[in-house]
Structure 1
């Protein structure tokens, strides 16, 4: 019998119901540290917690870098030096296709991780492949936009605004390209090694990275393209 008057087995069930994730906020007192939580006498936290925490720090530093490029574009927005404005440069229909491809890739990326949680290798690979193809379509459309601008003589040295435009949009495109290469390596690892613990950790980090790129693109689409064209 326990202090609550219940048999030990019933007491254990009660604790699990109160704290299903074993966080230790209610079911465990200070004398019962939670294993792998990184405190008490249980030693360091589980690797999944450490990897997730470290990758969040990386994402925050990446977002700070994007924030600097956003600020540069905001400062240089009217510095056209008599050259073209955003409204004269961009084709919103093509940008809309880019946005649709990237947002849809975020959805398929989420589905791939749902398949990973179900330990379904086939559907994980299928959804990762679709995510990669959509990302490739996004990069191809963006590269086509840059090539057409260059053919019209609209290059980064034309004005401060265009420099900031190419810097911000190009930085995001570079991230998507690197994300696509990362995705290809993850597909190979899942195919050859299956759902090992370290592979799942990397898939978690990849999902966080890909969704962060979608959030940044929404900011670019709104501030650079929509507001720029409206102005």
Structure 2
């Protein structure tokens, strides 16, 4: 395996570069998935029928907490990659741990939000609006859950093996995934929650 020392370790082999390129292609498919879910939501958002509307169930406080947690976790994820590139193993693990804990906090708030919706009579089968909302938010939440598990597995590998072309490559790809989820959340925050509260 030929290692190029003129680039960051995560790009240092041809296989690593190909993995990163392949992951960008995968993110293109994810963009198509979320674009479809947004299109369905925007088509159905005013089809509440006899159920509650967006303005009746959305609360700014919880959404702001979710947004703060997820966007701050993106910043700490970036700090983890920066620390990794400088060879600081402990700092990398600490920043990844903070990232994952904030992701877990985000999921906790979102689950609480879903329970509140159901308690208020807003379920998946209540209306077309709520069906599209639950599928959009649930798909994003499922991605965050998978990201949490993936990030935890990478932390274990870094702790055991240190920084290798393989662990740094996985860490960098994970960071792309986590940042992507944050970008999707910005769209959810702006065009689902804020629009729904107006």
- TM bin (shorter chain): over 0.9
Distance in 2 between residues matched to 1:158 and 1:61, nearest whole Å: 30
C-alpha deviation, 1:47, in angstroms: 1.3
Retained in 1: the 8 A contact 2:58–2:196? no
Q: Does 1:157 align with 2:125?
A: yes
Gaps of 5+ in 1: 1-20, 23-35, 37-44
Q: Aligned pair 1:48/2:20, yes or no? A: no
In the comparison of the two structures, how many residue pairs are matched? 189
Q: Normalised by the size of structure 2, how large is the TM-score?
A: 0.93
Say if 2:108 is the partner of 1:140. yes
Task: Tell me which moved more, 81-90 or 187-196.
Answer: 81-90
Separation in structure 1 between the aligned mates of residue 169 and residue 94 of structure 2, nearest angstrom: 19
Deviation at 1:82, TM superposition (A): 2.3
| Per-residue deviation, residues 102-135 of structure 1 (Å, max 9, x unmatched) | 0000000000000100111100010000001100
Runs in 1 of length 4+ with deviation above 2 angstroms?
Answer: none
Higher helix fraction: Structure 1 or Structure 2? 2
Q: Does 1:190 align with 2:154?
A: no
Q: Does 1:69 align with 2:72?
A: no
Deviation at 1:48, TM superposition (A): 2.0
2:129 and 2:159 mapped to 1: Cα distance? 45
Q: What is the match of residue 49 of structure 2?
A: 81
Residues 147-169 of structure 1 deviation map (CA, whole Å, 9 limit, x = unaligned): 11111111010000000000001
Question: Larger relative CO (CA 8 A, sep 6+): 1 or 2?
Answer: 2
Deviations 1:36-95 (A, max 9, x none): 9xxxxxxxx811210111000111101110000000000001111122111101111110
SS of the residue corresponding to residue 95 of structure 1 reads: helix
